[in-house]
Chain A
Amino acid sequence: MSGQLMGWDDTIVALATPPGIGAIGVIRVSGKKTFDVMNELFPSKDLHQQATHTIHVGFLKEGEQVLDEVVLSLFRNPKSYTGEDVIEISCHGSPFIQQQVMAAITSRGVRLAKPGEFTQRAFLNGKLDLAQAEAVADLIASNTAASQKAAMHTMRGGFSNDLQALREQLISFSAMIELELDFSQEDVEFADRTALNNLIHTLSMATHRLLHSFRLGNVIKNGVQVAIIGKPNAGKSTLLNALLNENRAIVSDIAGTTRDTVEEVLNIDGILFRLIDTAGIREHTQDLVESIGIEKSLEKMRAADIVLYLFDINEITPEQLQQISGDLTREDINHLLVANKCDLQSEALQQQFSALFSNIIFIAARDNRGIDLVKQELVARTIGGQVNTESTIVTNARHYDALLKLAGALDDVQLGLDQKVPGDLLALDIRQALHYLGTITGQITNEDQLDFIFSKFCIGK
């Protein structure tokens, strides 16, 4: 079998739907062990006895613990997408559930698939020719209406509603410009420049608001990278356990997107926090970072969205802490100072530190004291207290890029308006704006503009 020759005889698993929170998520397992592994997790039926191309409803269980109620779709080789034995699990669309299911599967010797690996296998097993395989890859990355829709469904809030509003405003703006060009001889009222200025301002604001939401959107989709840094005896391992212990039920060891580092994943209020380089904390007695200023440790810290600088309150002077905090600030590292081993004896010290530092939290990791404060602060730092969950959040990098270009084009339009360039030249920049928005919402054609004009204005001698 070609798979064996190529070293492809292992079993792989991956999320087949876009990551994030949706109605359902589909996890696809492919390879020789597929039916063995899934049979262990799906006690209600013997999957080995079931025919190909059948679906089955039931509970996935890890031992006695129910993971989720799911629908399994069975495909036996060679009549499957990859040509191997395939089971597709439709589970509920929470990232947490999906991770639990994936963890249960990977703990049974199934490997996480590399990007495009299913399609690669399909190609290698003669299910697709190269052109088809390429087309699939293109489709995944393309601007198709279908993938647009799929991507849109994965977004939180009313992204598509906001875009729809943006689209309509832009169409009406461009239509008003076109109106005075193509229908300048008509007896209709043309928008004055103040109205156009206001509209372009509104458009610009809306675009920027969506752009700003991207960082948060990204965080929601991919998780917040958190690093715990500190001297060897500061108690990093204890803090890590304290953070994770309380969430034992919702913690799992899985290989993340960067598969060479092991991460611990923590879910606080629906936001995923990835505690990076925890392997280092767990396995090595001596620490990664002995002191601030070493290039390597800086690198680690820069990779993190939030750095927890942990120290023993009894072993540091305010001056030393000021030095460290200053270094971190200079390096533009978003950090929290976490004072560990706080107890009654250190109360005076705590007051002294409180007065000096605004971003300090006092905990006693061993006694689980102050851990909630750390979590609250992590959440607060992530959403910045500015974004409520009702507002629209952009999570897709391609959308972000298109919005960025849209904002640029809108700036050009604004500039043109300021310089009073003729409408036909203004329209050139507006067309760019329409194009970029069109890459998200579907192209905006002159028919859209004409429809607007004919519905709003009495045209025709």
Chain B
Amino acid sequence: MFPEYDVIVVGAGHAGCEAAAAAANLGSKVLLVTMNMQTIAQMSCNPAMGGIAKGQIVREIDALGGYSGIVSDLSTIQFRMLNRSKGPAMWSPRAQNDRMLFAAKWREMLEQTPNVDFYQDMVKSLIIKNNQACGVVTGLGHEIKSKSVVVTSGTFLNGIIHIGEKQFGGGRVAEKAATGITEQLVELGFESDRLKTGTPPRVDGRSLDYSKMEEQKGDDEIVGFSYTDTPRIKAAEQRSCFVTYTSQEVHDILKTGFDRSPMFQGRIEGRGPRYCPSIEDKINRFADRERHQLFVEPEGWNTVEIYVNGFSTSLPEDVQYEALRKVPGFEQVRIFRPGYAIEYDFFPPTQLKYSLETKLIANLFFAGQINGTTGYEEAACQGLMAGINAHQKSRSLEPFVLQRSEAYIGVLIDDLINKGTDEPYRMFTSRAEFRTLLRQDNADLRLTELSYRLGLASQERMDKVIEKRNAVESIKKELAQFSVECAEANPYLESIGSATMLEKQKAGKIILRPNVDLPSLMQAVPRLAETLSHFSAESIEQAEIQVKYERYIEKEQEVAERMSQLENLVIPDSFDYDKVSALSNEALQKFKRIKPHTLGQASRISGVNPSDVQILMVYMGR
């Protein structure tokens, strides 16, 4: 019934979909197995993509030829570039999406991708021979062969849902949990553990009184995620979100449910994310706060369903209902479905290689929540990398690895496999030591060529990058040469409170001043606007950032280069750490378990001291 596949992807969430698309686009024959064909690419939690650090990741996925950026742009109902008032490294695209359209677009794109087959069934075990994965066994008993397997199980592995005192098995509300794989992998020697996450109630938008809330509109300009020419919606069409607040009264009602809370009563074992606490956690831990912000987010163009962001809870439904009714604008609220908490299995990611292949079983790859992460973007980028590497492995090609200085994706995977995680891992810009290099505006310049050389990013993408690169260089040259007369610029400079010029100055010099931006300068100096008229706004902005922040960018580049020296010192696979008697015991154990490939990687393993790395360096003959 089934041919032999190159890559089987287990699970069709954000990670699974990206994995299937990447492997197939590289030329692998791919089977995507999901428990339910109707729930491909679900946004299980909030109907939004991007945000701070996450938006940068979506841009990176797009630059590498993944689909998440395009799908997001096609399903956007509101777009905002967050942190505009801060430096360019912090600008972060974020979209509200139509949940159903998002899933539909994903399925449409996958269906249009040659080499992707679909099959609806639960995978209950993996076929493993000689410590190599070579296929899956489904719930109906089919054995399907493949050269490699990517497992993206999300919250489904032994998932348990908690609402108040009720608890039942499930991977999402109203969907069955998956069983079998954890037990098999643990049998094979894998370590597994539990994590917890939660989601808020969904309510009927027709029952809300928006006049009691603050409106939050989208941007006037929709930048979007994809570097391709994917159409964007018109700014005027955007849907608004609304902001409202809890109150002491709401908190008091919520507290009446604490004796039935699965979290406070100890029924939940898994650890939840500190940055995404449930509402009961917030009022418990920050008891002095009189109110908490709630975001009222529409779930799509053609639905009245509303997502109550900020009200994640696993308290009993009656308590959720009574408390919500005291929130301004929610007096008449009707609940579509209650919030809940879910616990699921994950495999501590220190058991993975940089390629996301497991160390224990060859040709087996993990991506997404199974690795202890949280978030669509985090999952999707791992899926993309696992899909690429599953393809590479099936062709005996070199793994594709991104450095910390190249991409947030590199930071994420490096953190996961070297540091592990004991709470659901989310990306923050503070995790990246090269934040100024890893901007949302230059993900294409950073990554598309790497992916193009791999055979994933299309010729069209590459051409656009070359064009942008050339345009940016030309603009920078123009800015360095173009002299602005005092009379031309001074009225503008005066108007923004910047010192006036006493003699003519190069445009490239003027834009170094704080408060001065290139579009405004172009407006003030029509000659300059004329000179740059044939360049796109995107290229002009890119050139401006490169000129304006050169000092900072160079500083980080220097550190990145210094760091890469350690990255180039390869530790042979056969290296015998036991021979190195001077290593601290903790470092010795960690080195033996993680088997770092380079001294750079060794230096980032938690519990390893600089001296341990120095000792290794001495042993390796510097």
Residues of A within 8 A of B (CB): 131-132, 134-136, 138-139, 142-147, 178, 181-187, 419-425, 427-428, 431, 446, 449-450, 454, 458-461
Verify B292–A139 contact, CB threshold 8 A.
Answer: no
B530-565 contacts to A, CB under 8 A, are 549, 552, 555-556
Verify B86–A138 contact, CB threshold 8 A.
Answer: no
Verify B428–A446 contact, CB threshold 8 A.
Answer: yes
Verify A458–B51 contact, CB threshold 8 A.
Answer: no
Q: Which of B83, B285, B609 contacts A458 (CB 8 A)?
A: B285
Verify A450–B582 contact, CB threshold 8 A.
Answer: no
Verify A184–B86 contact, CB threshold 8 A.
Answer: yes
Instruction: Tell me, in angstroms, the Cα distance from A145 to B556 when the chains sit together.
Output: 27
| Least CB separation from A142: chain B residue | B611
Q: Which of B428, B552, B610 contacts A450 (CB 8 A)?
A: B428
Instruction: Tell me, in angstroms, the Cα distance from A421 to B274 when the chains sit together.
Output: 30
User: Is residue B499 contacting chain A, with contact meaning CB distance below 8 A?
Assistant: no
Verify B275–A138 contact, CB threshold 8 A.
Answer: no
Instruction: Tell me, in angstroms, the Cα distance from A147 to B46 when the chains sit together.
Output: 49
Interface Cβ pair total, 8 Å cutoff: 124
Question: B286 to chain A: which residues have CB within 8 Å?
Answer: 458
Question: B429 to chain A: which residues have CB within 8 Å?
Answer: 181-182, 424
Verify A458–B430 contact, CB threshold 8 A.
Answer: no
Interface 1/0 per residue, B215-254 and A, CB below 8 Å: 0000000000000000000000000000000000000000
Q: Which of A138, A146, A421 contacts B514 (CB 8 A)?
A: A421
Instruction: Tell me, in angstroms, the Cα distance from A147 to B428 when the chains sit together.
Output: 33
Chain A nearest CB from B292 CB (Å) reads 7
Please name 27 pairs of A and B residues whose Cβ atoms are closer than 8 Å in the assembled complex, sorted by A. A131-B619, A132-B618, A138-B614, A139-B582, A142-B610, A146-B584, A181-B86, A182-B429, A183-B52, A184-B52, A184-B82, A186-B293, A187-B292, A420-B514, A421-B87, A424-B86, A424-B90, A424-B435, A424-B436, A425-B87, A425-B436, A428-B552, A446-B431, A454-B275, A458-B286, A458-B292, A461-B294
Instruction: Tell me, in angstroms, the Cα distance from A326 to B312 when the chains sit together.
Output: 79
Instruction: Tell me, in angstroms, the Cα distance from A132 to B609 when the chains sit together.
Output: 17
Question: B567 to chain A: which residues have CB within 8 Å?
Answer: none
Verify B82–A182 contact, CB threshold 8 A.
Answer: no
Interface 1/0 per residue, B89-129 and A, CB below 8 Å: 11000000000000000000000000000000000000000
Chain B residues with a Cβ closer than 8 Å to the other chain, count: 50
Question: A454 to chain B: which residues have CB within 8 Å?
Answer: 274-275
Instruction: Tell me, in angstroms, the Cα distance from A424 to B85 when the chains sit together.
Output: 11
Residues of B within 8 A of A (CB): 46, 51-53, 82-83, 85-87, 89-90, 273-277, 282, 285-286, 289, 292-295, 309-310, 312, 428-431, 433, 435-436, 514, 549, 552, 555-556, 581-582, 584, 609-611, 614-615, 618-619, 621
Question: B435 to chain A: which residues have CB within 8 Å?
Answer: 424, 427-428
Chain A nearest CB from B214 CB (Å) reads 12
Verify A428–B556 contact, CB threshold 8 A.
Answer: yes
Question: A461 to chain B: which residues have CB within 8 Å?
Answer: 46, 276, 293-295, 309-310
Instruction: Tell me, in angstroms, the Cα distance from A431 to B609 when the chains sit together.
Output: 19
Verify B292–A138 contact, CB threshold 8 A.
Answer: no
Instruction: Tell me, in angstroms, the Cα distance from A265 to B340 when the chains sit together.
Output: 76
Query: Counting chain B CB atoms within 10 Å of each CB, which of A146, A182, A423, A446 scores highest?
Result: A182
Query: Counting chain A CB atoms within 10 Å of each CB, which of B436, B584, B614, B621 scores highest?
Result: B614
Instruction: Tell me, in angstroms, the Cα distance from A74 to B259 when the chains sit together.
Output: 66
Question: A423 to chain B: which residues have CB within 8 Å?
Answer: 86-87, 90
Given known pairs A138-B611, A143-B610, A425-B87, the reply for A181 and B51 (CB within 8 Å) is no
Verify B430–A178 contact, CB threshold 8 A.
Answer: yes
Given known pairs A136-B582, A185-B82, A187-B292, the reply for A460 and B609 (CB within 8 Å) is no
| Least CB separation from B83: chain A residue | A184
Chain B nearest CB from A189 CB (Å) reads 10
Question: B609 to chain A: which residues have CB within 8 Å?
Answer: 143-145
